[in-house]
Amino acid sequence: MFEDIEGSKTWRSIKKIAKGWSTDEKYLIITEEGQKQLLRISPIDTYEGKKKEFEIIEKYSKTGINMSRPISFGKCNQRKNTYMLLSWVEGPDLERVLPTLPEAKQYQLGRDAGMILRKIHSIEVEQQDVPQTTKKEKKLRQLQLYEDSKVRVEHDEPAIQYVKDNIWRIWKEKPVYEHGDFHPGNLIYMEDGSIGVIDFNRWEVGDPYEEFLKLESFVREISIPYCIGQIDAYFDDDIPEDFWNVHAVYAAHAALYSIKWAEKFGQEDIDRMQKRCITAFEDFENFRRVIPVWYARRE
């Protein structure tokens, strides 16, 4: 399967990696020199999309951030698969490390992440990569699916109305290249205490403010200081009011639609998403406020 990958004859070991939600097959490669690399294998019908992903990773690597850097890309397994070879970022997931650290360190790591995100968003977007449409109509359709579902939570009307009344606020910023899944689960806590970025397979071009939604979806429950730090540093401690208005739209929409999305995975996931939804209602006081309580109490 790997013989036609350039340099594979110098590999000492190949170990499959089971972790993650990606449909790619992932392997840890160790070369004869002891160098670690990440190999991602995909079906051949994804070739064009994976080629574009590799090109985007090349763009990101030029920002100078710590990340899994591109090595090579092509076809393998007698042209039945696509492969992507990247450098390995050594260390545990930041998601696991954060709760064990002092709050001041959590906040500083959030600031580090915010500055990394700002560098990613600083890349000049090529015109052909800009979507022809925004996500406004898509999000309204998703909201309707939730409204028509049997998994609604009590007292959801204010959140629904907030999305409908304020959906026009999203996608007003200049489109940027997004990581697409920027949260501590895709960040590595490196030996020197810095952050390395991995897993760019959900990249897209869109509203830079949508990138912060992961704070509400994944991070708020493990480290509020980190969340605060990421926002503070991204905006150089001068957060525009528009950001909070837009962030609240994304938070309200995700809180509701994620419950409908979880239906296909079973009751346990539905229950978890409903719990997160109720937390969002509390954080935004049923969306009578746009700055979440956890940030307003940052002092």
pLDDT tens digits along 247-290: 999 999 999 999 999 999 999 999 999 999 999 999 999 999 99
**What's the whole-number mean pLDDT along residues 87-99?**
96
Q: Which CATH superfamily is domain 94-296 in?
A: Aminoglycoside phosphotransferase (APH), C-terminal lobe (3.90.1200.10)
Q: With a cut of 90, say whether residue 57 has pLDDT above it.
A: yes
Domain boundaries, the chain: 8-87, 94-296
* Span 21-35, pLDDT tens digits: 678 899 999 999 999
Please tell me the least confidently modeled range out of 7-11, 163-167, 245-249. 7-11
CA torsion sign, 251 to 253 to 259 to 265?
negative
Encode pLDDT of 202-234 as tens digits: 999 999 999 999 999 889 999 999 999 999 999
Residues 178-209: pLDDT tens digits? 999 999 999 999 999 999 999 999 999 999 99
Residue keyed to tokens 């920002």: 63
What are φ and ψ of residue 14, in 5° steps? Answer: -135, 120
Q: Which residues contact 263 (CB under 8 A, 6 or more apart)?
A: 149, 151, 270
User: What is the chain's mean pLDDT, rounded?
Assistant: 95
| pLDDT for res 20 | 65
- pLDDT level of residue 15 (50, 70, 90 thresholds): very high
Q: Do domains 8-87 and 94-296 have the same CATH topology?
A: no
Spatial CA neighbour of 89 closest among 158, 17, 149, 161 = 17
In tens, the pLDDT along 133-157 reads 999 999 999 999 999 999 999 999 9
Residue/partner pairs of 145-154 with CB below 8 Å, 24 or more apart: 145/257, 145/260, 146/256, 146/257, 146/259, 146/260, 149/259, 149/260, 149/263, 151/259, 151/260, 151/262, 151/263, 151/270, 151/274, 152/259, 153/259, 153/274, 153/277, 153/278
Q: Quote the percentage of the chain above a pLDDT of 90.
A: 93
CATH of region 8-87:
3.30.200.20
Mean pLDDT of 237-254: 97
